[in-house]
Structure 1
Amino acid sequence: MAKKGAMESMIGSLTKAEKRYFRLFSELQQGDKKYLELFNILEARMNGSDKDLRQLNCADISVTKNYLGKLILKSLKGYNEGKTKRSELLHLLLEIEILFHKELYDPCLDRIKKAEKIALKYENYTMLLELFGWKKRLLSALHATSAHAKIKEVMSREQQTLEKLNNLDQYNRLLYEVMDQDFSDRKSMLDYFDHPLLQDNSCAKSFGALTIYYHLIYMLHIVTSNPVNGQKALDALIETMESVPFRIEEDPSAYVTALNNSMGMMLYNKEAGAAVEVLKKIRTIPERYHLKQKQYTLKIFIKTYNVELELYRDLKDWDKARALMSEIQRFLDIHIIPTNYLLSFYYQFAYIHFQCKEYSLSLTGINRIINDNFGTDRMDLQTYARFLFLMIHFELGNITLLKYAVENTRRFLRKRRSKLFAFESVLLKFFSQLSTSLPYEYKERFEKLSSALFQGHSEKQRSNILDYLDFESWINAKLLKG
């Protein structure tokens, strides 16, 4: 697969709405529209077209590419204007600067006041300091001889803001310091509980600092083997975040991370039911907090569905897995998702059908992986899909097909690496022999496979292999059946 260039990557990152906005934006531009032709060719090529860049009749394609990149960024600025509070503040700051230099002081002051409210509410201290700077300049211009008292008041607020910013910076520095430590050194990690910033939550002077405080307490309890107190700190962190819903609406990433950590704790404590409830709670975030970022919403659903499906697979709860598969399929029918996740879903669907002895349905899922072009995405799953393909054909009684399927699998593996893993060679040899064996010889073949499969592999390697495809359970079931 050819490596994408910077321009192709930029175009590939655009949503349908952003592409539509760019085309509308380009209509407003004057002059030659070669850049738009280039955009259309590159977009078509990314969708599988064989259009050649030589079709574009321009003197220097690198100049056209450069200009196209600038216009895409310019259109994205317009498209995203006001969609986050930070972008709204940046826009207001630009207006403040323009109005001040035009000596339009009253509307300039109105925008400073509006921006101050936003910056205070969302604790954007760096922009708040910039706004104080403009306010001082404005007060000096409006009240040249009597502005001292008002400017001193602004300076006092500047000082308070600097203290909060410094406090937040100290917590950030402490967080990165702790993350750089050797977590296995329990004594050193315990010593951090004596740090002045971690004595009490009142040491945190802002919402941002408070969330870092709870995250640090949670992390330190976990690495010092105190999961009960770790869970308490994590619950306090989640409660703190939920008490300020507009912050989650603006940027849900930290909240999602906290819930993911909570789910991890529940899985560690073997509380699978509670972990699933957290996953479902994460999926309600877009609706509960009215998220506008469609791509982020899509990621939330994709990741939580994937984790929940893996959880049911690990628990061997095939009924719940099948019910969730139906929900995921409805989701996939109406959304375009990244190919690496699509491949993962296809594989998990096929594996679950296999475990439910629905071999024809399992084969349909595996054929999607084998026949579609997934390039180099998730080569691990593409490899295990080939072995599952062999197992399915055996279960379906397609013994004569095994010989050809084995050779196809071997070719697939050798195209991607020069040397096969030991367990892969053993499996390929097994299925090759199986294709020429009589039914009464199967048990002996499976016995030999059972003893040879993981020779030379560490326990960790063996565990990783079985996590994707449980060969051992399949082999043991065949031996029990006789």
Structure 2
Amino acid sequence: MAKKEQLFYLIKSLTPAEKRYFRLFNQQNGDSNYLQLFEAIARQTEYDEAAIRRRFKKAPFLRQLHVTKNYLTRQILRSLRNYHGKLSRHAEVHDCLREVEILFLRELFDLCDSEIERGLKLARSYELWTETLQLLGWQRRVLLASGNQQDQEEALNAVGEEERSVLARLTRQAQFWDYSLNVFPRLIASPGGLCDGHPLLGQSHPEDTQQSRILHFYITQTEHYFQRNMPAAAETATRLIAFLEERPELIRENPHAYLTAHNNLIGILLQIRDYPRIGELLTKIRAIFEKYRLSPDQPGSVKLLTHAFNVELEMYRDTGNVEAGIALIETMTGFLARYVHLVSSGYLLMFYYQFAYLHFLAGENEKALHWLNEILGGDLQRGREVIVGYAHLLRLIIHYELRNVMLLKYQVDSCRRFLKKKKRLNSYESALLNFFARLSMAHPEKHHAIFVAFREQLLTEHPLESLKDHLDYLDFLGWIEDKCEELG
């Protein structure tokens, strides 16, 4: 992200409610010029500074546009702070810290101490340990400033004891983070395993933070996965989810670990093709937002739903459940209409390709072609080469099914040009292109013979095992078998 685009992406990240709040906030705290700039940027689909300069060429602020953009950024962040004043317990504790400082400077020590106790209660309950240390520091300052040190000795010692306890927890947590972030190099160096007998990773410590225990689960799960023990990895991921569900208030406060645990479990179950359980988890994921009162409009929530949709599409494609896949497409188009700006181009490419493939499997070739054109006629064609290559090949099949034989020859040339841009043209790809080129120039009466001959060529020159990964994404061999039977 270029520096000059940062304001654009900040504005694009705002929900409709946040935009409404900013407009009201700016009326009370800002200048109409800033709101005009805000609206102009909000209307853009891609940041175009030249267009902004043309639009405001007579505005005085244009002479220092970078200063105006910086001020607008600050105003938006101020409005977001106000709007999300009760966004999380973390935000509440930080507000409390600001109030503690104000009260301390006014020497209102009794009221200041009450605020400290309120903040400590929240911080301890929600395991906000760094904030706990800050509040304990203020508590010491209040004790020292408000009375005789000898009279406060017991309270001061209690503050010091709690500080040492919190620091010990944070030290172990930092060690868990170190192991978690470097788990794969350590597994490669210790193929026999990390956890057994290790002073940190053996038995859990009674004073471990929740974050430490989450990381402990993750390291154990990763070790099982690395050793290809998928049942044990799935069991560990399941235990982590159950552990997190014991503290629903912490899920609401920071849902990331809970959502990641579900995604990890789904990834493991995909390896062993446990589709029934994956289906149950996907249903559960959709209910998480209502159950824990989470906003589905946040980027993290959209990312989770995006991943879940992609897994579900893959599952229906792999199992041949075309009817369920088509029904899901209808749901997903509504989701994308609302959140497409928060979905990465990589996921969009996968979505559109799978939409096209499912419509093709359903015999809905016009609909399939629509989604392929979304890929091949825009920016997505510059995405992941392997998927774009499958899209080109699937488009050849679709044009044949639609009897666009005259167009087929030109599409073969287009596909060949794209595939040759890669480092090498796979032999099966070259064979497919030659096959479609023959079809495009042959009389329809000869198509059956061409299909039969090509089927034999494929099976002779390309063992099924070598084609397996490609057939998972585009089962051209199954299509050829069907056409041999249909045309025979």
Same fold? TM cut 0.5 = yes
1:217 corresponds to which of 207, 215, 220: 220
2:152 corresponds to which of 118, 139, 147: 147
The aligned residue for residue 111 of structure 2 is 107
Amino acid at match of 1:197: L
2:475 corresponds to which of 467, 470, 473: 470
Residues 84-118 of structure 1 show CA distances to partners (whole Å, capped at 9, x for unaligned) of: 22222111111111111111223322221111011
Native 8 Å contact 1:125 1:165 kept in 2: yes
The aligned residue for residue 241 of structure 2 is 238
CA RMSD of aligned residues (A): 3.4
Q: Report whether the alignment pairs 1:391 with 2:397.
A: yes
1:260 corresponds to which of 253, 259, 263: 263
SS at the partner of 1:194?
A: coil
Amino acid at match of 1:255: Y
Native 8 Å contact 1:454 1:462 kept in 2: no
The aligned residue for residue 66 of structure 2 is 62
Q: Following TM superposition, by how much is the alpha carbon of 1:16 offset from its aligned partner in structure 2, in angstroms?
A: 2.5
The aligned residue for residue 291 of structure 2 is 288
The aligned residue for residue 344 of structure 1 is 350
2:297 and 2:388 mapped to 1: Cα distance?
Answer: 29
Show the 5 A alignment for 1:152-191: 152-183=157-188, 186-187=191-192, 189=193, 191=194
2:121 corresponds to which of 106, 117, 123: 117
Q: Report whether the alignment pairs 1:251 with 2:264.
A: no
Structure 2 length-normalised TM? 0.85
2:65 and 2:229 mapped to 1: Cα distance?
Answer: 61
2:36 and 2:462 mapped to 1: Cα distance?
Answer: 55
Q: Following TM superposition, by how much is the alpha carbon of 1:435 offset from its aligned partner in structure 2, in angstroms?
A: 1.7
The aligned residue for residue 86 of structure 1 is 90
Amino acid at match of 1:254: A
Native 8 Å contact 1:363 1:389 kept in 2: yes
SS at the partner of 2:196?
A: helix
The aligned residue for residue 205 of structure 1 is 208
Amino acid at match of 1:63: V
SS at the partner of 1:284?
A: helix
Amino acid at match of 1:142: S
Q: Following TM superposition, by how much is the alpha carbon of 1:375 offset from its aligned partner in structure 2, in angstroms?
A: 6.8
The aligned residue for residue 443 of structure 2 is 438
Query: Which runs of at least 4 in structure 1 moved beyond 6 Å after TM superposition?
Result: 47-50, 451-461
Q: Following TM superposition, by how much is the alpha carbon of 1:135 offset from its aligned partner in structure 2, in angstroms?
A: 0.5
Residues 252-299 of structure 1 show CA distances to partners (whole Å, capped at 9, x for unaligned) of: 121122222222333333321111111211221111111136223333
SS at the partner of 2:63?
A: coil
SS at the partner of 1:117?
A: helix
2:41 and 2:459 mapped to 1: Cα distance?
Answer: 47
Q: Following TM superposition, by how much is the alpha carbon of 1:147 offset from its aligned partner in structure 2, in angstroms?
A: 1.7
SS at the partner of 1:277?
A: helix
User: Which sits farther off after the overlay, 290-299 or 81-90?
Assistant: 290-299
2:381 and 2:92 mapped to 1: Cα distance?
Answer: 40
1:228 and 1:117 mapped to 2: Cα distance?
Answer: 40
Q: Following TM superposition, by how much is the alpha carbon of 1:76 offset from its aligned partner in structure 2, in angstroms?
A: 2.7
Q: 1:456 to 1:17 in 2, by over 3 A?
A: farther
Native 8 Å contact 2:230 2:272 kept in 1: no
SS at the partner of 2:44?
A: helix
Native 8 Å contact 2:172 2:212 kept in 1: yes
Native 8 Å contact 2:15 2:297 kept in 1: no
Amino acid at match of 1:388: L
User: Which sits farther off after the overlay, 468-477 or 458-467?
Assistant: 458-467
Native 8 Å contact 1:167 1:204 kept in 2: no
Residues 149-181 of structure 1 show CA distances to partners (whole Å, capped at 9, x for unaligned) of: 211122122222222222222322233343332
Amino acid at match of 1:74: R
Amino acid at match of 1:46: T
Native 8 Å contact 1:35 1:68 kept in 2: yes
Residues 392-450 of structure 1 show CA distances to partners (whole Å, capped at 9, x for unaligned) of: 12112232232344455567x38x94877345554444333322211232244335655
The aligned residue for residue 39 of structure 1 is 38
Q: 1:389 to 1:16 in 2, by over 3 A?
A: same
Q: Following TM superposition, by how much is the alpha carbon of 1:83 offset from its aligned partner in structure 2, in angstroms?
A: 0.4
Q: Following TM superposition, by how much is the alpha carbon of 1:129 offset from its aligned partner in structure 2, in angstroms?
A: 0.7
Amino acid at match of 2:215: I
Q: Following TM superposition, by how much is the alpha carbon of 1:250 offset from its aligned partner in structure 2, in angstroms?
A: 1.2
Q: 1:46 to 1:332 in 2, by over 3 A?
A: closer
User: Which sits farther off after the overlay, 139-148 or 87-96?
Assistant: 139-148
Q: Following TM superposition, by how much is the alpha carbon of 1:453 offset from its aligned partner in structure 2, in angstroms?
A: 7.1
Amino acid at match of 2:53: L
Q: 1:185 to 1:105 in 2, by over 3 A?
A: closer
2:480 and 2:186 mapped to 1: Cα distance?
Answer: 44
Q: Report whether the alignment pairs 1:137 with 2:141.
A: yes
Q: Following TM superposition, by how much is the alpha carbon of 1:34 offset from its aligned partner in structure 2, in angstroms?
A: 3.9
The aligned residue for residue 10 of structure 1 is 10
1:359 and 1:392 mapped to 2: Cα distance?
Answer: 6
1:366 corresponds to which of 372, 375, 387: 372
Q: Which 5+ residue runs of structure 1 have no aligned equivalent? A: none
1:238 and 1:149 mapped to 2: Cα distance?
Answer: 41
1:274 corresponds to which of 256, 273, 277: 277
2:153 and 2:360 mapped to 1: Cα distance?
Answer: 79
SS at the partner of 1:144?
A: coil
Q: 1:460 to 1:56 in 2, by over 3 A?
A: farther
Amino acid at match of 1:133: G
Native 8 Å contact 1:204 1:213 kept in 2: no
Structure 1 length-normalised TM? 0.86
SS at the partner of 1:5?
A: helix
User: Which sits farther off after the overlay, 34-43 or 313-322?
Assistant: 34-43
Native 8 Å contact 2:34 2:72 kept in 1: yes
Identity rate, percent: 34
2:120 and 2:114 mapped to 1: Cα distance?
Answer: 10
2:467 and 2:4 mapped to 1: Cα distance?
Answer: 35
Q: Which 5+ residue runs of structure 2 have no aligned equivalent? A: none
Amino acid at match of 1:14: L
